[in-house]
Structure 1
Amino acid sequence: MKDVVTLVTGGSRGIGRGIALALLAEGATVHVTGRTRFEADANVPERTGSLEGLEHEAATLPGRLFVHRCDHGRDADTERVAEEIRAGAKLDILVNNAWPGYENMVEDGHFTWPQPFWEQPDWRWDAMIGTALRGAFMMSRAVAPLMISARRGLIVNISFWAAQLYEGNAIYGVAKAAADKMAADFAHELSPHNVAAAALYPGLVRTEAVLRNADYFDMSNSESPQFIGHVIAGLWRDPKLMSKTGRVLVAAELAREYGIADVGGYRPIPLTAADFVRD
């Protein structure tokens, strides 16, 4: 991957950080966006997770890291980063991962995530649709011409089964369904240019937030944050990549196809829709 240039949005913590570290470990040049520049400014419960922290963690990896302070809720921020990428005249992989939708799940002592749609706070729609979804569209639109001119590229929207099944929050379902549809329609328009687009589903990922609440999860089949990054690298190397464009892809399923194992050699079991059906 030493000649591959990638952009991962929302990489100061969570899945995005793991994807960036995995791609750096494989030798890629990785651009990462994030709202939190310095560790002292982290405001999540762990009081950690920043572009500065990512830089420290990436220091010994073979790839080259470039960080960009960016709030994808502001189109001007997204465009500024895209302009910096375009200045390099090359982008192979875009991973649309930025996702503020899990913030503030508890408000005034109440866990608002599972409330019916008519009781959902307005900010949650703005975060999932106005920031995450719009940010993915705006960044994709800004960098697609680079891929088209090179006649090769890959856009990955990080999504989840909530796109297809009820997962406890109507706005969440709408956002993920739109991410899948966006990837499918991007693929339709990009295919003549030999550029692929897909929605990629992780399993249960051991992010900082999940580990903080590990007592509430069955962690036996969980995935490291880096796992999905190695899967994206495998997808890029797939000589039949264009046969997968426009599709919903399950990371653990691709890992089996490509012979990719997670940390410690564990091979996560791919989840299916049946795993989310509740009685």
Structure 2
Amino acid sequence: MKDVVALVTGGSRGVGRGIALALLAEGATVHVTGRTRSEAEASLGGKRVGSLEGLELEAANLPGRVVIHHCDHCNDTETERVAEEIRAGSRLDILVNNAWPGYENMVEDGEFTWPRAFWDQPAWRWDAMIGTALRAAFMMSRAVAPMMISAQRGLIVNISFWAAQLYEGNAIYGVAKAAANKMAADFAHDLRPHNVAAVALYPGLVRTEAVLQNAEYFDLSNSESPGFIGHVIAGLWRDPALMSKSGHVLVTAELAAEYDIADVDGYRPVPLTAADFANG
């Protein structure tokens, strides 16, 4: 992957950070966006751990090259600025649309508001999931697609989840993920004549910082490391049949089995199906 240039949005923590580090471990040049500059900033106001500064330090000993972009994707101008900076410096092969503020403020005034019925959901949650996360995926894809079209090769990955197809406790979440799937499908239609692929990718349960902090509430027996999905994205990029997968919803563990990719600890996560989630 030493000649590959990727962009991962929302990479200061969680799944995005894991994807970025995995691609760096494979030798790619990885541009990463995020709002949180430093660990000191991350600790303010009860924010979750993880920052661009911390990512940069962790990446220092990896073979790839990380390029940090401080960016708040609720501002289209900042999203477009990142694309312009990448265009000025090189090209872009892979875009991973991961930025996701939808899990913030799940507890408000001591109440866990996430599972409320849709009519009781706070309006800010729609703005976070649709107005920021989904819009950022569209705006960033829109900004970088011409680079991929010019090169006649590229891959856009929308990080999605089973909530697109099943009720996962929050109606807005389901709408956002269903839209991410549809966006990837329609992008794929427009991009196919230019040999550029677009997919929606479902992780399983990922051992992010937030999940590990609440490990007692999760069954981690079939969980995935944050880096697992990044190595699978690398496998997808190398797949000579990539264009045949364009427009589809893909499951990380299924692709890993196809590409013979194990997780960082050697475990091979079992691919889950819609029935697994429907049955709890």
The one-letter amino acid of 1:205's match is V
Match of 1:100 in 2: 101
The one-letter amino acid of 2:24's match is L
Match of 2:236 in 1: 235
CA deviations over 1:108-136 (Å, ceiling 9, x no partner) = 01000000000000100000000000000
Match of 2:28 in 1: 28
Match of 2:184 in 1: 183
* Residues paired across the two proteins, number: 279
TM-score, normalization by structure 2 = 0.98
Question: Would you say 1:76 and 2:73 are equivalent positions?
Answer: no
Question: Would you say 1:17 and 2:10 are equivalent positions?
Answer: no
CA deviations over 1:11-40 (Å, ceiling 9, x no partner) = 000000000000000000000000001111
Q: CA deviation at 1:88?
A: 2.1
Q: Which runs of 5+ in 1 are unaligned?
A: none
CA deviations over 1:238-266 (Å, ceiling 9, x no partner) = 00000000000000000000000002210
Moved more, 80-89 or 17-26: 80-89
Match of 2:37 in 1: 37
Q: Distance in 2 between matches of 1:44 and 1:115?
A: 24
Map residues 185-204 of structure 1 onto 2, 5 A cutoff.
185-204=186-205
Match of 2:222 in 1: 221
Match of 1:244 in 2: 245
Q: Distance in 1 between matches of 2:14 and 2:61?
A: 20
Q: Distance in 1 between matches of 2:33 and 2:45?
A: 17
Indicate the SS of the match to 1:260.
Answer: coil
Q: Distance in 2 between matches of 1:193 and 1:160?
A: 27
Map residues 40-55 of structure 1 onto 2, 5 A cutoff.
40-42=40-42, 43=44, 45=46, 47-55=48-56
The one-letter amino acid of 1:97's match is N
The one-letter amino acid of 2:134's match is L
CA deviations over 1:201-223 (Å, ceiling 9, x no partner) = 00000001111111111000000
Indicate the SS of the match to 2:265.
Answer: helix
Cα RMSD of the aligned pairs, angstroms, is 1.0
Q: Distance in 2 between matches of 1:235 and 1:45?
A: 37
Q: Which runs of 5+ in 2 are unaligned?
A: none
Q: Distance in 2 between matches of 1:166 and 1:55?
A: 37
Task: Check conservation: 1:156, 1:197, Cα contact below 8 A.
Answer: yes
TM-score, normalization by structure 1 = 0.98
The one-letter amino acid of 1:231's match is V
Q: Distance in 1 between matches of 2:166 and 2:239?
A: 29
The one-letter amino acid of 2:226's match is P
Match of 1:142 in 2: 143
Indicate the SS of the match to 1:219.
Answer: coil
Match of 1:132 in 2: 133
Task: Check conservation: 1:188, 1:246, Cα contact below 8 A.
Answer: yes
Indicate the SS of the match to 2:142.
Answer: helix
Task: Check conservation: 2:93, 2:154, Cα contact below 8 A.
Answer: yes
The one-letter amino acid of 2:29's match is T
Match of 1:64 in 2: 65
Question: Would you say 1:273 and 2:274 are equivalent positions?
Answer: yes
Task: Check conservation: 1:157, 1:183, Cα contact below 8 A.
Answer: yes
CA deviations over 1:100-159 (Å, ceiling 9, x no partner) = 000000000100000000000010000000000000000000000000000000000000
Q: Distance in 2 between matches of 1:277 and 1:47?
A: 30
Q: CA deviation at 1:46?
A: 6.7
Indicate the SS of the match to 1:265.
Answer: coil
Q: Distance in 1 between matches of 2:135 and 2:164?
A: 17
Summarize the Cα distance change of 1:76–1:212 in structure 2 as closer, same or farther, 3 Å threshold: same
The one-letter amino acid of 1:56's match is L
Task: Check conservation: 2:48, 2:210, Cα contact below 8 A.
Answer: no
Q: Distance in 2 between matches of 1:185 and 1:198?
A: 10
The one-letter amino acid of 1:232's match is I
Match of 1:263 in 2: 264
Match of 2:209 in 1: 208
Task: Check conservation: 2:94, 2:156, Cα contact below 8 A.
Answer: yes
